[in-house]
Chain A
Amino acid sequence: MKDLDQEPKFGLNTATIYSNPVLQKQVLAKLYGGLHLTGLKPSDDPDPEVRGADQGATSYLRLLWKMEELTSDEAAVAWTDGSIQALNTSQWSSSNDFVQAMYDRIYFQIASTNEYIREMSDDKLSSRGITGGDLTNARYYRAEARFLRALSYYHALDMYGNVPFVTENDLPGKDLVPQQKSRAALFSYVETELKDIEGLMTPAHAAEYGRADQAAVWTLLAKLYLNAKVYTGIEHNADVITYCDKILKAGYTLAPEYRLLFLADNDVKAKNEIILPVVCDGTRSQSYGATTFLVHAASGGSLQPVAMGITNAWSGIRAKKNLPLSFGLSTAADAANPADKRAIFFTTRQNLEMNSLIVFRDGWAVTKFKNLQSDGKPSPTADPTGTFADTDFPLFRLGDVYLMYAEAKMRMGQTTDPTALNYVNMLRRRGYGFDMNQPNAVSDVSTLTEAFMLAERGREMYWEAQRRTDLIRFGVYTSSTYLWPWKGNVQAGTGLEPYRTLFPLPVSDLSANPSLKQNDGY
């Protein structure tokens, strides 16, 4: 009868894992890796974490990118996978498989971090004999897991608003029925949680590359406060300044060139600007999400994959015309040598106009992210098959903090605040290839306006998975005055119903958890 008690030979049970500091860190690696990895291997995982969809398409970052970019004025995808076109045309419903996959991925992350936080409590660590340096490390790990959970709840509140809520105090299982939290209540929870862990994290700019420290917590708080009016109806601009100031004092510096942030050696060449990366590696940290997606899907048409440091073009994502137009570019000749070098487009036989959403040649290709080093060569340790990218994704970076600072000042009415203007102009000078610290009449601006800030965020942060949030904060996401191709499923663009600022809760969870109430409008 003892034979009936079988356990996997290569699996590990909870008690074994959490009594061992080495294994604790490997679980933590999966929690961070959860931001782009999709399973126990990059494809064909027999037991994938997010089921019902193509494994590669369930990558957290790939989904976040689609939700933020395809629904905005910056990008469209040519594929016809599932209901992905509904993101291009703002026609998604509660049955949309991408709306569901993003939600499922967020909650996989929340459930996994909850489990970690639960099993890493001081009581349990002590009962498992974790002491001394191991205990110190374990407490950092736990605080970081709380940070990652807060990050996912931030994404949930930003995209879905009113969502089910579970913490380490809710034991997982079939009988657990999570209760819904309102967007405002979730805002308070994330705010409180981040402030709570602020003192428990590694000091700012001191963590190992790839791990979150105090600066990551501050950046997330700044983002939360910057959008507070959308989430709660109340502005928190002074708080934005408070937390940006903390980051600005932490010793981060801008990368010398804009392009360095998006290349295979950005972990070296742009390390000092990146506050929190999503780390990718062509051989050791592979997924079909993150930059592997951004590089492959952006290749196609006459753009040779080899020019992107890969072997296959997926012919998927390219720019809606608002993006090049915001740089003042409308012809291939313009794009060949733009004044603002942040405009990184490939235009050979690509049309600016997007007559068809599903033709890759309609819309300029964007080559901002590449799987090549700054010297134009592949990384020495690049994936020999040319599939998986080495480029890290800068989830939080100093450039974004500069812009948040400036925007908060602008919103507080200080439209000519010299510090704010200096931050904006430093980014612009870098973009133009000027000395960042020398004022330059060509690149510099002297007043911060709402229209300028929105456009400038586009120019600096395009394709970095922030645009939808920005457009909503600036009040133009659903408006009928600011349009982009295929907004509202009309080529010229049309206004959207106001409820589209939130995604619906997926119908899968509504059926599983009847205590949930759908967002208005859906």
Chain B
Amino acid sequence: QTGSVSGRVVDEKSQGMPGVTVLIEGTSLGNSTNSDGTFSILNVPAGPHTLVTSFVGYTSQRIPVTVVSGQNATVAGITLGENTTLLSEAVVVGYGTQRRQDVTSSITTVSSREFVQGQITTPEQLINGKVAGVQITSNSGQPGSGSTIRIRGGSSLNASNDPLVIIDGVPVDNNELKGAPSALSLVNPNDIETFTVLKDASATAIYGSRASNGVILITTKKGLQGEKTRVNFNTQFSVSKNYKQTEVLSGDQIRAIVNEKGTDDQKALANLFPGTNTNWQDQIYRTANTSDNNLSVTGSAGKLPYRASVGYLTQQGLLKTNDLKRNSVSLGLTPVLLDGNLKVDLNVKGSWVDNNYADQGVVGTATFFDPTKPVFAPGAGYAAYGGYYQPLDLTSTTGGLVGLAPTNPVARLEQRRDRSTIKRSIGNVQLDYKMPFLTDLRANLNLGYDISRSNGTTFVPAIAASEINRKGVNDHYSQSRDNKLLEFYLNYSKQLPNDLGRLDLLAGHSYQDFRRNTPFQQAYQADGQLVSTKSGFDAYSRNVLISFYGRLNYNYKDRYLVTASLRNDASSRFAKSVRNGLFPAVSAAWRVKGEDFLANNTLISDLKFRVSYGVTGQQDIVGNDYPSLANYNPGESTVGYQFGGIYYPTLRISPYDTNIKWEETKTYNAGLDYGILDNRLVGTVDVYLRKTNDLIALITARAGTNFSNQFFTNAGNLENRGLELGLTGQVVRSTDINWTLNANATLNRNKITNLGQESANAGPGNRFEGIDGGTGNNIKVNTAGYPVGSYYVYQQVYENGKPVLDKYVDRNNDGQINEQDLYRYHSAAPKATYGLSSNLSVHKATLAFTLRSYQKNYVYDNVRSNNSYYTNVLQAQPFLGNATPELLNSQFAAPGEKTRLSDYWVHDASFIRMDNITLGYDFGSLIQESTNLHLTFAVQNVFTVTKYKGLDPEIFNGLDKNLYPRPRTFTVGLNFGL
């Protein structure tokens, strides 16, 4: 009673498309197309069917076909068009793929065609501004510096808020890697095919205890069976410039101030080099060049599809002496063996990164270094330090350096060599075996690793003023990480008889092992002598995660869809009795478009409602793998104690909580996916509520009850609620002109609902986030009833519109101004974020841009709060400094004791930023038929509209203290395909 179906799938150029999935709808019958695009499906029950083709990046086709028992039905020339609407493509989900239309959870995919263009050197920037609910903030303008990624606002308080990132099935270690600006910077963005962001718990709960802050699945480009060999060479050259400086006073202005208000000594200092006006910011920055070259070969050697690529990036930082070189290789082999029953997916990625670090402290130093002084100065006093001007103490007989004075920032760049080399490899082999005796059953084994080695050296000569006290620096450091992964799952797909729908079952096991070691290092002088003899211990840490998981998908008539999943995680971080956590999730979708009443509706081309609920966890207490154990740790040899002339090492017990366990986030999500007018307009709306219970929080220990005043335990609740909108419209769709606009918006409200310590005499909560200026001045607080990290400040009093030095509102009316008058005033997290991308193609030319906006993200301007006083210029020690022109406005002589904690420095830093404009031209087949030449010109960081006075309003933690500036970059790119 069965027949077969065969046919051929071609692209718009009528070339056969290999690797396309072809399925008989509602069954598990299907196959992939061969090298020439042909396919054949056997054992198809007789009767009418719908054939569904799917391929990442292309629109699915649904073709009716009638199978006659014992015969082959041929379907000729199925043409797949490139998909710009994304509604029906295959999407990657945890442990598998799904058709977009079957998805019941909140998932956003961005594939290579939609990636941000231009000079992108770290992967996450590829999707910045493209996904609702995802906030990506680059940490600085330093090459490779990476970004902070937050999905739906962050569900944790003191545990990590980073999402779980999985590259080709291997969860990668996103913790700080010594010697590397960021962990993800070691992956070459050119190798990436898609980013999939799993947002609600229904999508993420299969990753259990690490999924609370979302999951990002990255897949790399692969070769396809039977594909012709394609060579692609991509080269980019960029020029980056610093487009804005922190405003400071000129040398002449400083001399005027000193001559008016200074002491005789200070006047002498100011007039040491008459007429000198050095702009120190000009001295430390440069125009930086970057070149990025990538060569890839994709094809199929016989039955072995492969993709191999090499990349070479050399990127200069704006700061002189700062650069990064990245060599990367990537190899992917994807053979299908054993009559198509065994799919092998082998990936090896390696990178070798050489960094030349610059002392980033010079960003602040140069800004406020005395502008009445030259970079180099004549005389023996300066020659001793290499000829650089240094603040020498003219009031003392010795004429040595002024103790706490900053040293020449140019010297600090040029006299320091700070290099690191990081080698990292991520790889896995994934074997997916379809049981020949039970074709509905697949077994999947995934063995992976993520290994890195970093080594660094720092050298500063003994004559350098910055390290004169320790006679220079000649230090080494290293770090190693060895992470291993073993995953095994079984997948059973069954079309139930009697039209009862389709069932998909998954059950799996996972073992992961993470080891980190940072060997103890001595400190050496430039000549290689020890600074002082000390000993210490390697920082070695290991944790293990053992998991079991399962999932059920049920699809009834392609209209009613249900997904349920369950994961059990056991973590070595917790004590035996509490180390197991269960993370269930369930979701359902109603694909309204599938109903008869909409079937012929031409206005609504797609409509689906989704609801989901699930529980996820978080366990990553940054830097502490043993929070439940009573352990004594040895101090370094520098913190011994003497008894009777002998120094004994010290051993200290650390705080612990025997019963500490996972925090749990319950996520409720409701969503709507729709398409209008043949999907000319497609959109998504999601609302969510995420409640985290048993927060892993650093809370006050009742005095005497633990071995620190604060310890990690489960206490309190936090919630995020939000709304996400995504909209893609094809404004113009014609043969020659296409214009697509993509807009997204996210509103998120974050609130700590309790911290487990509510009582009549409750305090303000733990204050944190130290600021520049004094020590121990914290600017934020966590309090129940307020957003995480609210600024905790005094309310400034103004007269005639000007702030009055150290006058604040007596908020509790007790007649005095003290800590009890501090109040919570906004936070760094934006209340709303928006993204707008445009892609216009006219004939062979393209024009694309990405615009982003944050609203009501507040920034504490530490640059001005710490550098706007006469004492910044007229220092207590015998040297001069600089200050912001704010000084001339406020005329503050010196900061008072509370000045830096005034709300006067907290500003609304809402902004609109044109991230990127790219102009491209496709020359097409210049040399021969199959070649292709594409030329692009891109500008990044084009402009920013903001009322914020500081250098850059986009600062993740809201603390603006001398950010390494993000450059404006001009890029020319050439892509040559053969």
Contact = CB atoms under 8 A, between A and B. Distances in A.
A pairs with B:
yes
Contacts of B760: 514
Nearest to B546: A4
Contacts of A52: 709-710, 766-768, 778
Contacts of A91: 816, 818
Interface stretch (B167-175, B335-343, B654-662, B665-673): B654-662
A489 B573 CA distance: 50
23 contacts: A6-B626, A11-B634, A29-B649, A33-B650, A41-B639, A80-B774, A80-B899, A82-B778, A95-B820, A100-B709, A104-B709, A107-B704, A164-B704, A170-B704, A172-B707, A173-B657, A174-B713, A176-B704, A209-B643, A210-B642, A286-B639, A356-B894, A384-B471
Interface stretch (B6-14, B82-90, B395-403, B957-965): B395-403
- B626, B641, B710, B757 — most chain A CB neighbours (10 Å): B641
B770 interface: yes
Contact of A8 (B541, B571, B777, B778): B541
A7 B570 CA distance: 16
B715 to A, nearest CB: 9
Nearest 10 CB-CB pairs, A to B?
A: A208-B644, A507-B763, A104-B709, A95-B819, A54-B775, A166-B704, A85-B897, A30-B650, A514-B759, A33-B641
A83 B819 contact: yes
A82 B897 CA distance: 8
B533 interface: yes
Given A166-B704, A360-B876, A7 B631 contact: yes
A279 B641 contact: yes
Interface string B399-422: 010011000000000000000000
B680 interface: no
Contacts of B701: 512
Contacts, number: 351
- A30, A115, A360 — most chain B CB neighbours (10 Å): A30
Interface string A10-44: 11111001000001011111101100010111100
A383 B542 CA distance: 35
Contacts of A50: 708-709
B631 A104 contact: no
A281 to B, nearest CB: 6
B623 interface: yes
A51 B708 contact: yes
Interface in A203-259: 208-211
A51 B709 contact: yes
A173 B647 CA distance: 32
A196 B380 CA distance: 67
Interface string A330-349: 00000000000000000000
Interface stretch (A303-311, A406-414, A434-442, A475-483): A303-311
B705 interface: yes
A174 B659 contact: yes
A32 B653 CA distance: 14
B443 to A, nearest CB: 23
Given A6-B626, A286-B638, A386-B469, A41 B536 contact: yes
Nearest to B533: A283
B698 interface: yes
A195 B446 CA distance: 68
B875 to A, nearest CB: 10
Interface string B180-221: 000000000000000000000000000000000000000000
Interface in B502-543: 511, 513, 531-534, 536-538, 540-543
B640 interface: yes
Contacts of B647: 281, 284-285
B703 interface: yes
Interface string B755-781: 001011111101110100111111000
Interface of B: 393, 395-396, 398, 400, 403-404, 469-471, 511, 513, 531-534, 536-538, 540-544, 546, 570-573, 576, 579, 623-626, 629-645, 647-654, 657-659, 698-710, 713, 757, 759-764, 766-768, 770, 773-778, 816, 818-820, 822, 876-877, 894-900
B822 to A, nearest CB: 8
A81 interface: yes
B635 A41 contact: yes
A54 to B, nearest CB: 4
Nearest to B468: A311
B97 to A, nearest CB: 31
Contact of A53 (B546, B713, B763, B776): B776
Interface string A314-342: 11000000000000000000000000000
A54 B769 CA distance: 11
A301 B877 CA distance: 6
Contacts of B700: 508-509, 511-512
A56 interface: yes
B635 A39 contact: yes
A519 to B, nearest CB: 12
B221 to A, nearest CB: 35
Contacts of A164: 702-704
A311 B632 CA distance: 34
B704 A80 contact: no
Contacts of B819: 83, 86, 93, 95-97
